[in-house]
Structure 1
Amino acid sequence: MVRQRVQLIDSLRGFSLFGILLANLLIFQYGLFGQNLISFYKLSEFDFGSYKFIQIFVEGSFMPIFTFLFGYSLIKLVESLRAKGRKSRWSLVRRFLMLITLGLLHGTFIWEGDILTFYGGIGFFLFIFINRKPKTLIIWGAAILLSMTAISYGKYEENSKEKAITASYVEKTADSYKHGTYLEIKNQRNNGEDPLTTMFDDEPFVLLVIMLFAPIASAPLFLFGMAAAKLNLFANPTSERKSYFKYMVILIPLGLIFKGVAYLAEDSNFASIGLTGGAPMLSLGYIAAFAYLFTSYAHALPFRAFESVGKLSLTNYIMQSVICTSIFYGYGLGWFGDFGTFNSILLGIALFTLQCWISTVYLKKYNRGPLELLVRIVTNFSWNGRVKTSSKGGI
């Protein structure tokens, strides 16, 4: 039964990484700010339709799955450490600092869309919830989600100055990323005046408030994942099958409706609410749907392939950045801005299929990926990555 639980969680992690890749391909080929100023790239109607498809069905709804699993795995790690008589506090501190370090290296030298730094940072915020009861975690998660949704009501419109700043930055980024050398692109990524910081040059306090609230806005899925781990959900998928189906048929349609309003009626005052509430709703629906299918097809090739990628999720995530920047940036093939969104979907499927095959072959010889082993070594503070057992209890 334990093996089945691990397989489901690893498979779900691999599935989330596939969706993250499809969403990130918008950033790889249009830039972090350019993906939201898509008119600059003058897409064909077909590519624009593909762009909307990604926005509604994928963007913002697969990263929360990974977030949910981060919270879930955090609790399971704490339980494992305590079962072996170890205190979890310093192990988690080392783990979070390692994620922050990897994230800073990733964001500085490879790609601007890094999320590892954020995950490492929010880990310290999650400290205060580790010993809370599942009910408390769910209440806090729901309260934060509802609060963020309510706050997001209304329509924000950029003024002429802000539009000019964004347009200028996107234009410079497009030229640099498409034609620049590695050092030129790295300089633009790290030293270019991005719109967010430039807009708040005269209001640094406002920018500080935004940066402080951003992690809190994403906290619900972390907390829901932690609650799920404490309730030992997914430990027996077959017995939970009816629950998966119920949540699947409710949350997926609602999530798609909310996100559809957000992306197809962008001038509406409800657009922001649709995105803030719809994205996590759809994420939970996808989790339920995946778990429901897993109960019948756990040993099918796709689920075993997802599992292999999920076991090497950190290594595969970084490799996606290395490969995609080499395809789209000037020091590689230079396809930035010209590849097309539909073609990017095909590329994402092809690249992920390759990762499934490589991961499966790799795991026949090794138990862990290189980056997974590095994080484990730092977390457990041992050269072999194993937890040193202790006769003393841990908290």
Structure 2
Amino acid sequence: MKQRVEAIDAVRGFALFGILLVNMTLIQFGMFSGEQPTYVFENIDAGANWLIQFFGTHNFISLFSFLFGISIILLQKSIIAKEKRFFPTYIRRIIILLIIGYIHGAFIWDGDILFGYGIIGILLMMFINRKPKTLIIWASIILVLTMLMSYPFEPSTNMSDDFAPYIAKEQQVHETGSYIEHVSFRLNEDPFKYIGITGFFGTFFISLFALIFMTPLFLLGMYVGKKGWLFEIDKHVSPLKKLWLMSGIFSFAVKILELLTKQPLLIMLKDSVTPISMALFYGSSIILLFHYKKASRLLEYMANIGKMSVSNYLAQSIIATTIFYAYGLGLYGKIGYFFGIVLTIVIYVIQLYASTCWLKRYRIGPVEYVWRLGTYLKRPAFKRKLNKVS
């Protein structure tokens, strides 16, 4: 499918802002360190942390997962339209994604999501040719199972205590280690051994277990892709408005009540269901803005980021780790939440401009070029003949 769905690209670009917002905290404090003390402006910093937790954590990765599900169906429709075999192409695409994810996780930052998406992408092969109704049924079943599995652990788990030895080693590496020492730490240090899970298969299955919690989003995205709702937005404005309203009311009601009461049931709903509802709220918000041509200039720039999302995602990790880790500027643990948000906005604005400039000269991002080359086994069109963003 040559024609880009601009609204989906804009949603993807918005998701990348939220992912950077959350990852900024993880990169500057560590993956397992929990909440950190406030910094220069105590009240402002505490408020900034609250904003990240309330609006960001789990929500944008859920939105990105939803979009990944849609992209699978887009790819299928595109390949079938060309009268080619889908699964060989899809498998090559997943293999390249796994390679990119492994390189990112090993040599740039251990918070990579692309390798996990590749694993889930393999599992989703059994659902690609299923009917939309089947996808909804399985998404619902898996969601209920993950809710039941997560419920007993929510009130008592203290990740920072469990991973204290790993956190100490991680902090030392990030504050004083060279780039080679960082890579060695990521490749050789296993955080799960500190909670009694050792060996490759143990780590693999606990990682797979974590990925299963996102599976309903992938399936829901595939469902929407099959229904074609986002390709004919004019025909589905009313349902989109209802989805926006219902998902927003549910999300904010659960989050606020959980914040006030700390009831186990609400904690479970907040951690397992509201990431889905918030993803739907964010996604429908951007699509409706796009439809009504509100903030159209900003959405156009956001769509440009979305068109080269993998390149921008990797660039975010490279920039942030260079800022915080010892082999770069060495600001690990030093700037706090508020200035983390400021830095997020600065980096994202730069990416808005850089992506727009890049797409005036090239059709796709540099990593997307490699990905398509490996997927289709032929060189994709890269440079533009006309100085115009499509």
Corresponding residue for 1:118? 116
For the residue of structure 2 that corresponds to 1:275, the secondary structure is helix
Cα deviation per residue 1:332-389 (whole Å; 9 max; x = unaligned)?
A: 1111111111111111111111101011011111101111011111111113379xxx
Distance 2:127 2:135 in 1: 7
In the alignment, is the contact (CA less than 8 A) between 1:265 and 1:271 conserved in 2?
no
Letter in 2 for 1:29: Q
Q: Is the 8 A contact 1:200 1:206 kept in 2?
A: no
Structure 1: distance between partners of 2:71 and 2:157: 43
Q: CA deviation at 1:61?
A: 0.6
Cα 1:310–1:292 shift into 2, 3 Å:
same
Query: Structure 1 residues 296 and 163, CA, compared in 2 at 3 Å: closer, same or farther?
Result: closer
Cα deviation for residue 143 of structure 1 reads 1.9
| Whole-Å separation in 2 of the counterparts to 1:164 and 1:51 | 20
TM-score normalized with structure 2 length: 0.90
1:250 has 2:234 as partner: no
Q: Deviations over 1:296-325 (max 9, x none)?
A: 126721100111000110100100011000
- Contact (CA 8 Å) 1:106, 1:114: kept in 2 or not? yes
Distance of aligned partners of 1:317 and 1:213 in 2 relative to their CA distance in 1, 3 Å threshold: same
Q: For residue 182 of structure 1, what is the aligned residue in structure 2?
A: 179
| Contact persistence 2:325–2:332 (CA under 8 A) | yes
Alpha-carbon distance between aligned partners in 2 of 1:254 and 1:350, rounded to the nearest angstrom: 32
Q: Is the 8 A contact 2:63 2:279 kept in 1?
A: yes
Contact between 1:61 and 1:283, CA under 8 Å: does it hold in 2? yes
State how 1:1-395 maps to structure 2 within 5 Å: 6-34=5-33, 36-38=34-36, 44-156=42-154, 164-194=161-191, 196-201=192-197, 209-260=205-256, 268=264, 270-297=266-293, 300-384=296-380
Contact persistence 1:378–1:385 (CA under 8 A): no
Q: Residue type of the partner of 2:70?
A: Y
Structure 1 position 265, deviation (Å): 5.6
For 1:182, give the aligned amino acid.
Y
What is the DSSP-based 3-state SS (H/G/I as helix, E as strand, rest coil) of the residue aligned with 1:343?
helix
- Percent identical among aligned pairs is 34
SS of the equivalent of 2:361 reads coil
Instruction: Deviation per CA, 1:216-257: give whole Å up to 9, x if none.
Output: 221111111111111111112233222222111111231133
1:148 Cα deviation after fit: 1.2
Q: 1:330 to 1:263 in 2, by over 3 A?
A: farther
Shift of 1:171: 2.6
My pick for the range that moved more, 180-189 or 372-381, is 180-189
Cα distance in 2 for partners of 1:163, 1:317 equals: 27
Q: Distance in 2 between matches of 1:297 and 1:3?
A: 23
> For the residues of structure 1 that align with 2:10 and 2:2, how far apart are their CA atoms?
12
The verdict on how the C-alpha distance between 1:97 and 1:277 changes in structure 2, with shifts beyond 3 A counting, is same
Comparing 319-328 and 42-51, the one that deviates more: 42-51
Contact 2:15/2:61 (<8 A) preserved = yes
TM-score if structure 1 supplies the norm length?
0.89
Mapped partners of 1:170, 1:5: distance in 2: 43
- Cα RMSD for the two superposed structures: 2.7
CA distance in 1: counterparts of 2:64 and 2:127, whole angstroms: 18
Q: Do 2:163 and 2:195's aligned partners in 1 also have CA atoms closer than 8 Å?
A: no
Residue deviations 1:157-195, cap 9 Å, x none? 7689x865522322332232122211222223332342x
Distance 1:32 1:381 in 2: 37
- Residue identity opposite 2:369 in structure 1: L
Q: Whole-Å Cα distance in 1 between the matches of residues 318 and 275 of structure 2?
A: 27
